[in-house]
Chain A
Amino acid sequence: MQRYAISKADGSVAVMMLVPNAFTVEGLRFTATRIVDGMLLGSTKEMVVTPPGAVRTLIAKVPLDSPEVSYEYPPVADEIAKWPEAEQAQVNYVMQLTEAPPADRTFRNAWVLDGDKIGHDMGKAREIHRERMRAARAPKLAALDVDYQRADEGGKGEDKARIAAKKQALRDVTKDPAIDAATTPEQLKAVWPAVLEA
């Protein structure tokens, strides 16, 4: 599988995966504009191929994951040219990736090109993390509002104070200094106060 990183004018990074458009097996090259890839790649099925435009000749069955089958890919520039012009205009830089993108997509929209691989813009990652915290706390704050109102109607001052403290703790989660102190996505992901889990 060939993958390319494409950095865009808005600072984002796209990852394009190319699908093979030809393959060679036992010295015969087959161009196929319409490969059903699931039947050629990624499965243990065997294939029987017929040379295109020739007398029908069945090639010996070849396991699809055999190293004897080599694949060709369309040029990445041709693939970008298939995008709408407005999106093509956003392309700043294209680079083939030699290693897979990060497996953890928690901070996917913070990906940036870091040398010859994909890294993270920690500033963006922190904002993503804070947004995730806000989303997680919103229903909890709403529920506590109801609890507070009930405590107020029941004249339960101690309950009101306890609920108010919990609400404040929820409001403060995005101010946790550990967020700014985190220097890696893993450290940042670990910053998740217990009050968000309760």
Chain B
Amino acid sequence: MAIDFPASPVSGDTYSFGGRTWRFNGTGWERLGTAATASDTDPGVIEIAVQSEMEAASDVLRAVVPGRLQYHPGVCKAWVKYSTSGGTVSRDASYNVSSITDNGVGDFTHNFTAAFSSTQYLALGNHDATLGATINGARALNIHTLSTGSARVLHDNTGGAAEDPAYAIFMFFGDQ
């Protein structure tokens, strides 16, 4: 009996025959190693976790690679640091943020490159303690709108008036 790989495979499909196993990598069938599966105590073959396994966050036998780390529910999905010092709003650093919009004094929208799967996600932020240069100091930080593709946030002073922060940070957690 000859090896008979399945027709029309998709990437990740495996095929076993004669005690050997192959996995389709998108272009061809790769033979998997014959070593034992790795465990906490034994060396061996270890699979790479796919997105669903990362999102389930329960597998202890598969390895995490940099390009899939972001699928774990406990990992920050986006973050941004921005500032208004010197007048113009600028993005100092960010991750998974595709744009920042200055809507007005103390009013900013952060768009995500990879959107969240729903609006049930977490936004955490803070801004500098010297918020504003005029009155009242600081410091209320409010979520104006959370949508799957963007988050709009407001910075107020203690008098309840909108005020620009010298700088601010935000982190976003949730499912994408």
Q: Which of B70, B99, B103 contacts A79 (CB 8 A)?
A: B99
- Shortest Cβ gap from B35 to chain A (Å): 23
Q: Which 9 A-B pairs have the closest CB atoms?
A: A38-B93, A82-B149, A103-B87, A16-B101, A15-B102, A79-B99, A84-B147, A82-B111, A14-B103
Find out whether the CB atom of A135 lies under 8 angstroms from the CB atom of B93. no
Find out whether the CB atom of B101 lies under 8 angstroms from the CB atom of A6. yes
Q: Given A18-B99, A42-B92, do A105 and B112 touch, yes or no (CB 8 Å)? A: no
Find out whether the CB atom of A109 lies under 8 angstroms from the CB atom of B96. no
Find out whether the CB atom of B87 lies under 8 angstroms from the CB atom of A83. no
A residues apposed to B, CB below 8 Å: 1, 6, 12, 14-19, 21, 33-39, 42, 74, 79, 81-84, 87, 100-105, 108-109, 132, 135-136
Find out whether the CB atom of A21 lies under 8 angstroms from the CB atom of B92. no
Find out whether the CB atom of B89 lies under 8 angstroms from the CB atom of A17. yes
Find out whether the CB atom of A82 lies under 8 angstroms from the CB atom of B94. no
How many residue-residue contacts, CB under 8 A, span A and B? 110
Find out whether the CB atom of A105 lies under 8 angstroms from the CB atom of B90. no
Find out whether the CB atom of B113 lies under 8 angstroms from the CB atom of A33. yes
Total B residues in contact with A, Cβ cutoff 8 Å: 39
Q: Given A19-B94, A34-B70, A34-B114, do A87 and B99 touch, yes or no (CB 8 Å)? A: no
**Cβ of B88 < 8 Å from any Cβ of A?**
yes
Find out whether the CB atom of B113 lies under 8 angstroms from the CB atom of A21. yes
- Shortest Cβ gap from A105 to chain B (Å): 5
- Shortest Cβ gap from B142 to chain A (Å): 16
CA distance A87 to B147 in the complex (A): 11
Residues of B within 8 A of A14 (CB): 101-104, 109
Find out whether the CB atom of B111 lies under 8 angstroms from the CB atom of A79. yes
Find out whether the CB atom of B103 lies under 8 angstroms from the CB atom of A105. no
Q: Given A38-B81, A82-B115, A108-B105, do A17 and B87 touch, yes or no (CB 8 Å)? A: no
Q: Which of A18, A83, A103, A135 contacts B149 (CB 8 A)?
A: A83
Residues of B within 8 A of A19 (CB): 91, 94, 97-100, 113
- Shortest Cβ gap from B11 to chain A (Å): 12
- Shortest Cβ gap from B109 to chain A (Å): 7
Residues of A within 8 A of B94 (CB): 19, 36-38
Query: Which residue of the partner chain A has the closest CB to B115?
Result: A82
